[in-house]
C-alpha cells in the first residue's frame, strides 16, 4: 500500500500527535530541537527567506554608487521610483536584504586569499577585501583581480622555434566561476562568497565550507568575521546565551541568530540539551 502524506501548509506534519525531523540517518522528535521547530513554523507562515522578504538589519541605506554604476552603463535611474522598481522593500515597507546588497555598504565581506601551496594548511601570504560596498562594484573588482593574477607565461612544451605564451588560467572559466558565486550565493544565510588561490588551482566557496576544519589558522577561515567572533565566544564559554553574545559583540539579535545558525548548519557547533539548561558543543575536527 502506498502512503501519501500531503505537504504541510500551516503546521508541520505530525504522527500520533508527535512531529519528527530527520537528523542524519535517524529520525528525532522535533520538540528536542526548538530552534528548528520555530524555523519550520516561520517558513510555513511566511515562506522561505529570500532577498526580498528578509528585512535588512540596516535601515539607513544610501545608493549613490548604484546610481553612478548604472549611469556609467548609460542608464539613468529615476530617483523617485528606482527603489520600488528594484523591489527594495519588504511588505511592511522596510529595506530588504536586496537593498542592503546594492547599497553603498553591503555589510558583506568578500575576500580573496592566496596560499603558497595546494591546501589551506600551507602559508597564506595575501588576503584582499572586496566587500562592504555595492555588490556590483565588488563583483567588478574581483573580476579585475583575476586579470592581475592571470600572468602570461612561456610554454616550452613541444617548442620548435617560437616560444608559446599562455595565460596562467582560462579567463572565461574564472569569470564564470566568480559570477556564479555571486549569483548563486545564499545571501540570506549571512555567508559570503570567498575565493582561494592555490599553487595549482583557484577555488570558490558559495554558502558552504571547503575541506580542512583542522589547523589553528584554517579552521575558521571559511567564516566571515562576525561568525568567527561568535565561535570564539562560544569556545570560551559553552554556556553563553545569544543575549550575552549580543551584549559582548555589540551586534543585533538578527545578526547573532544568523551567525549561530550558520555555525550550526555547517557543523562548527551543536546545541546539547535544552535551550535554558543546555550548552554549546564546539567541533574542532
pLDDT of residue 215: 36
CA distance 148 to 125: 16
| Residue in the structure block whose three cell numbers are 561568525 | 227
Distance from C-alpha of 205 to C-alpha of 233, rounded to nearest angstrom: 24
Euclidean distance between CA atoms 135 and 208, whole angstroms? 20
What pLDDT is stored for residue 41 in this prediction?
81
The domain spans of the chain are 8-48, 223-285
Beginning with the edge strand found earlier in the chain, give each strand of the sheet holding 194-197 in spatial order: 124-129, 111-115, 194-197, 202-205
Packing angle between helix 242-249 and helix 253-265, nearest 10 degrees? 120
Q: H-helix or E-strand containing 156?
A: none
pLDDT below 70 — which residues of the chain? 1, 24-25, 154-163, 204-222, 284-285
Q: Residue count of the chain, please give it.
A: 285
CA distance 103 to 168: 34
Under 8 Å between Cβ of 55 and 18? no
Residue 218: which H helix or E strand, with range? none
Amino acid 210: pLDDT: 37
Per-residue confidence (pLDDT) for residue 209, from 0 to 100: 43
pLDDT of residue 36: 79
* Assigned CATH for 223-285: 1.10.10.10
- DSSP secondary structure letter of residue 189: G
pLDDT in tens, 160-202: 666 677 777 888 888 888 998 898 888 988 888 888 888 888 7
pTM of whole model > 0.85? no
Quote the CA–CA distance of 44 and 106 in Å, as a whole number: 29
Amino acid at each position: 500500500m502506498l502512503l501519501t502524506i500531503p505537504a504541510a501548509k500551516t503546521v508541520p506534519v505530525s504522527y500520533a500527535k508527535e512531529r519528527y525531523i530527520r537528523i542524519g540517518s535517524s529520525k528525532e522528535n522535533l520538540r528536542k530541537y526548538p530552534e528548528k521547530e520555530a524555523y519550520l513554523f516561520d517558513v510555513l507562515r511566511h515562506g522561505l527567506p529570500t532577498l526580498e522578504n528578509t528585512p535588512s538589519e540596516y535601515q539607513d541605506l544610501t545608493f549613490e554608487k548604484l546610481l553612478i554604476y548604472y549611469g556609467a552603463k548609460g542608464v539613468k535611474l529615476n530617483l523617485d521610483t528606482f527603489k520600488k522598481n528594484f523591489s527594495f522593500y519588504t511588505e511592511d515597507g522596510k529595506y530588504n536584504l536586496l537593498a542592503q546588497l546594492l547599497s553603498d555598504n553591503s555589510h558583506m565581506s568578500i575576500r580573496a586569499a592566496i596560499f603558497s601551496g595546494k591546501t589551506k594548511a600551507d602559508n597564506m601570504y595575501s588576503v584582499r577585501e572586496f566587500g562592504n560596498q555595492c555588490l556590483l562594484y565588488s563583483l567588478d573588482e574581483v573580476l579585475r583581480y583575476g586579470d592581475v593574477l592571470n600572468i602570461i607565461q612561456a610554454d616550452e612544451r613541444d617548442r620548435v622555434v617560437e616560444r608559446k605564451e599562455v595565460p596562467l588560467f582560462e579567463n572565461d572559466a574564472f569569470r564564470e566561476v566568480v559570477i556564479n558565486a555571486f549569483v548563486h550565493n545564499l545571501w540570506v544565510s549571512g555567508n559570503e562568497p570567498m575565493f582561494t588561490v592555490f599553487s595549482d588551482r583557484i577555488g570558490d566557496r558559495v554558502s558552504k565550507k571547503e575541506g580542512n576544519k583542522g589547523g589553528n589558522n584554517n579552521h575558521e577561515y571559511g567564516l566571515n568575521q562576525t561568525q568567527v567572533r561568535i565561535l570564539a565566544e562560544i569556545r570560551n564559554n559553552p554556556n553563553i546565551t545569544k543575549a550575552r553574545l549580543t551584549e559582548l559583540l555589540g551586534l543585533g539579535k538578527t545578526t547573532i541568530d544568523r551567525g549561530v545558525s550558520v555555525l550550526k548548519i555547517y557543523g562548527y557547533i551543536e546545541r546539547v540539551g535544552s535551550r535554558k539548561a543546555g550548552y554549546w558543543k564546539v567541533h574542532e575536527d
